[in-house]
């Protein structure tokens, strides 16, 4: 029992250290987040981190089960504060990600998105092998612009061959389109969501500060570690080498 208490204590201290308890102004609070609010200070909501610990544990168990069954997680975090941590976490696991802009239809019209991904790979391969050198300078410039746009919009999705087992989202309010698309096709969402977010569409909400880089990096790390723990020993070695 004392070991469990120490684990909980360490988790609480870790979250507190990165400012995970800071919500938004009380006037911005979404009603669904009310059960997870400890109180307010200077009209700013203070999140109950003991409840966040329970939510995080549930999300991590789910993520472990995804890893054990070989399913992917699509990492989504397009606001500036989230991009670095989301990109790093996804790349370390070899998971697909979206960090610049969610393109409408990424999930609900995946067959068309897949065509754009294929086009990006085709152009990138041609450029690498010198296949674009036969075109004029003006034509190469057009291809380069297309390649840049395709990379920004679809490059992070290349590891995703089929629908992911789940989305991991930073700020479900900011990523409402991604959350809605996932809901339409029955893909569960794990989300770090602050006090202004509607938690009802989220299968595994983690109520915490989704704006501070330190807080975001902490929770990305927790989800990343949970996925590693769910992998078989052989796959853990492969993942650690990414």
Task: Give the residue from 83, 31, 22 showing the smallest Cα distance to 196.
Answer: 31
- Rounded (to 5) percent helix, strand, coil in the chain: 55, 15, 30
**Measured in Å, how far apart are the chain's first and last C-alpha atoms?**
36
Count the neighbouring beta carbons within 10 Å of the beta carbon of residue 44: 14
pLDDT of residue 15: 94
Assign domain 35-107+163-240 to its CATH architecture: 3-Layer(aba) Sandwich (3.40)
Q: Where do we find the tokens 């990305």? A: 220
Please give the chain's pLDDT, 242 residues, in tens.
555 566 667 788 999 999 999 999 988 999 999 999 999 888 899 999 999 999 999 999 999 999 999 999 999 999 999 999 999 999 999 999 999 999 999 999 999 999 999 999 999 998 888 888 888 889 989 989 999 999 999 999 999 999 999 999 999 999 999 999 999 999 999 999 999 999 999 999 999 999 999 999 999 999 999 999 999 775 654 555 55
pTM comes to 0.90
Q: Where are the domains of the chain?
A: 35-107+163-240, 110-157
235-to-74, 83, 148 alpha-carbon distances in Å: 18, 26, 32
């Amino acid at each position: 029992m004392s070991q469990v208490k120490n684990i909980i204590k360490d988790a609480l201290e870790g979250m507190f250290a990165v400012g995970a308890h800071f919500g938004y102004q009380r006037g911005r609070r979404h009603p669904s987040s009310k059960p997870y609010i400890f109180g307010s200070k200077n009209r700013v909501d203070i999140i109950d981190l003991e409840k966040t610990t329970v939510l995080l544990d549930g999300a991590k168990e789910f993520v472990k089960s995804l890893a054990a069954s070989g399913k992917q997680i699509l990492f989504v975090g397009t606001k500036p504060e989230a991009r670095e941590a989301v990109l790093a976490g996804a790349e370390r696991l070899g998971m697909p990600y979206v960090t610049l802009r969610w393109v409408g239809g990424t999930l609900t019209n995946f067959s068309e998105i897949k065509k754009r991904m294929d086009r990006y790979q085709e152009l990138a391969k041609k450029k690498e092998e010198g296949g674009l050198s036969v075109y004029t300078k003006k034509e190469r410039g057009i291809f380069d612009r297309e390649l840049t746009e395709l990379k920004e919009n679809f490059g992070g999705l290349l590891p995703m061959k089929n629908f992911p087992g789940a989305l991991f989202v930073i700020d479900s309010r900011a990523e409402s389109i991604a959350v809605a698309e996932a809901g339409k096709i029955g893909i569960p969402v794990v989300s770090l969501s602050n006090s202004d977010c509607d938690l009802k569409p989220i299968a595994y909400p983690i109520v915490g500060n989704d704006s501070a880089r330190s807080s975001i990096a902490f929770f990305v790390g927790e989800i990343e570690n949970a996925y590693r723990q769910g992998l078989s020993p052989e796959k853990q070695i492969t993942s650690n080498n990414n």
